[in-house]
Amino acid sequence: GYRRFSILGSQFLILSCQAMMMSAIYDKIGLGYARKRKPDYRIARAIHDALGDAQSILNVGAGTGSYEPDNRTVTALEPSAEMIGQRPPDAAKAYQGSAEAIPFADNQFDAAMAVLTVHHWSDFEAGLREMRRVAKGPIVILTFDPESRYFWLADYIPEIIALDQPIMPKLEAFERILGPCKVEVVPVPHDCTDGFLGAYWQRPHAYLDPQVRAAISTFAKLDNITNALTKLEQDLASVAWEERYGHLTELENLDVGYRLVVAQPISKKE
């Protein structure tokens, strides 16, 4: 009995340490997050439709509450106190904790969702299995496909690809863990209100704004991009950017690699 307690205690300690490390990362990228990361209604519609008729929903890595349906019962789980502190007063109740050790009972929720968060988890597989454990119905995850074609920003900052490739799970990994998944392309509108990395594909000047960059996790992990930003600023001041990428200004939406992964529960035969 003592040995079992010791093993469980060690596992809890490891998970607690992992949660603390993730919280520190989120605390860093969370500064000013709520001001720049306002949910886009078109992306919200895709997420809410994928949740089906689920009434009780767990939002894992919930951040400031973006994309939480306001007409259902939502519970938020978020590792960062900084993020939780920026949630609106009328947002769903938030608990501080990590995806790898969800503090709720089996099948407690009708569905679970996770929006642009899986690449921050210390154990991707454990997090997905925990979501499956607590959700009776669909699991809905907005993520980025690392095998997709990167948009023009990577021409200026190629380090983005080197950062994303190791941490962004490949789409087949979701199906390996969760079973059959439906994957939908989530095109990003030209006027997207959610300031994630690919949101400003038609508004290049935005990437020169330090407040915009502060709300994007990728920039928080880049060491020195002064030269890249200077080059972008110079190209925008001249006709260089327009000559290479001006055709994008005619588009309403662009596929820049974001995907909605939806996993339904696997039916168990009697």
pLDDT attached to residue 34: 58
Which tens digits make up the pLDDT trace of 117-133?
999 999 999 999 999 99
CA distances from 52 to 47, 138, 186, 264 (A): 9, 8, 17, 10
How many structural domains is the chain composed of? 1
**Residue 21 structural domain:** 2-263
- Residues 169-198: pLDDT tens digits? 999 999 999 999 999 999 999 999 999 999
- Predicted local distance difference test score (pLDDT) of residue 220: 84
pLDDT of residue 9: 42
Question: In which band, very low, low, confident or very high, does the pLDDT at 37 lie, cut at 50, 70 and 90?
Answer: confident
Is 270 among the domain residues?
no
CA 88 to chain centroid: 19
DSSP-derived 3-state class of residue 55: coil
Mean per-residue pLDDT over the chain, rounded: 88
Q: Which of 251, 231, 248 is nearest to 157 (CA)?
A: 231
Q: Is the pLDDT of residue 28 over 90?
A: no
Residue 135 forms part of a structural domain: yes
Whole-structure pTM value: 0.85
Residue 8 has pLDDT above 50, yes or no: no
Q: Greater confidence, 37 or 199?
A: 199
Per the domain annotation, does 197 fall within a domain?
yes
- CA 5 to each of CA 8, 12, 14, 97, 110: distance values in angstroms, whole numbers, following the listed order: 5, 10, 14, 22, 32
Kindly state whether residue 268 falls inside one of the protein's structural domains: no
> In DSSP terms, which residues pair with 59 in a beta bridge?
76, 113
Query: In this structure, is residue 188 part of a structural domain?
Result: yes
CATH of the domain at 109: 3.40.50.150
Asked if the model's pLDDT at residue 21 lies above 70, the reply is: no
The average pLDDT across 23-45 equals 70
